[in-house]
Amino acid sequence: MSLGLYYYFQLTAIFIMLGWTLYWVYRIGQLNNAPIAIMAIGAYLSAYAVLKWGWPFGLAMPFAVICGAAFALIPALSLGRAPAFAMVIATIALIFIMQTVFRNLPWFGGSIGLFGIPKIKSLLWITYGVLVFFGILIFRFDHSRLGRAADVIFEDRDVAGTLGINIYLFSVCLQVMTGVMGTVAGVLYAFTIRTVIPVYFGFPFLLAITTFIFVGGYTTMWGVIVFTPILWGIPIILPESVAVYKNFIYGILLMGTLLLRSEGVIDRRFLHRLHMNTGIMVKRLFRGLKKSET
């Protein structure tokens, strides 16, 4: 596999994971950007453990994940009850705080960051294994009682409360879970790029992930899977003179999608219709096969 293709597959998987972190908390109507900040923690701590303490990747990853989960709990406990806006702004603020902290702490290399992270041979397999694991986890969540509870919270918080759903606990748990996902994404990102600098985990990164999820569709987990490879791949396919306008294209797509199709391209209705059409096609296929047999 060429190096370009390796990076494409690897980063696509990481971006899908990050898209899911936003999607998962948005299931209850909260836009939590903290996973991007926690991703930075995962990337920096794992890189530091490997470079400075000489730990193997297998040990550095769980260490970073535990630290990331513990860190995710702090804002989660206080933001669980916060209004949607407060969460958006506070978590964006968290991204900037983490960037500033890493830029100013000499142990983490300041603005230069950490570099020379060793190459992991089977990283692509690990990344896709983790991606499938998180995918199954979210799919099972969506199709369980918890998923239905999340739907009720999204539609009407008062009704959800009346039905006995503990919205605060729900929000805290989802924030910590997405924090763990963000940390894992951060570790994988660090070992893919093999350099960690504060600029990577900033606002433009958040904007790109937001585009992937809101263009793809934020009401299902499939929108991110389909649209991340497309949107992330567009600038690679386009000629360089056009590719420099990547953010412009993202902005137009994001704005157009939200104005014309408010729930994104792959929404629940789209999935329902797809499911129905696939069912009809399979039935027709079977009928045709039976007729040819008789």
Binding site for other proteins (CB under 8 A): 29, 31, 75, 78-79, 81-86, 88-90, 92-94, 96-97, 99-101, 103-104, 203, 207, 210-211, 214, 244-245, 247-248, 250-252, 254-255, 258-259, 262
Sequence letter at residue 61: M
For other proteins, give the closer residue by CB, 16 or 254.
254
Least CB distance to other proteins at residue 87 (A): 8
Least CB distance to other proteins at residue 167 (A): 14
Contact 179, 76 (CB under 8 A): yes
For other proteins, give the closer residue by CB, 7 or 245.
245
Least CB distance to other proteins at residue 107 (A): 13
How many beta carbons lie within 10 A of that of residue 77, not counting itself?
A: 14
| Cα–Cα distance measured from residue 136 to residue 90, given in angstroms and rounded to the nearest whole number | 30
Token pair 């260490």 in the structure block, residue: 63
93 backbone dihedrals φ, ψ, rounded to 5°: -60, -40
Least CB distance to other proteins at residue 29 (A): 8
For other proteins, give the closer residue by CB, 6 or 96.
96
For other proteins, give the closer residue by CB, 169 or 207.
207
Report CA-CA distances (Å) from 189 to 106, 161, 217, 220, 280: 21, 39, 24, 24, 42
- Measured in whole angstroms, the distance separating CA 204 from the mean position of its chain's CA atoms is 15
Mapped onto helix, strand or coil, the DSSP state of residue 238 is coil
- Copy the structure tokens of residue 210: 């937001």
Token pair 């989802």 in the structure block, residue: 174
Least CB distance to other proteins at residue 160 (A): 18
For other proteins, give the closer residue by CB, 13 or 209.
209
- Residue from 198, 200, 201, 202 nearest 103 by CA: 198
For other proteins, give the closer residue by CB, 251 or 288.
251
Q: In three state form, how does the secondary structure of 36-91 look?
A: HHHHHHHHHHHHHHHHHCCCCHHHHHHHHHHHHHHHHHHHHHHHCCCCHHHHHHHH
For other proteins, give the closer residue by CB, 109 or 131.
109
Least CB distance to other proteins at residue 68 (A): 18
Least CB distance to other proteins at residue 217 (A): 13
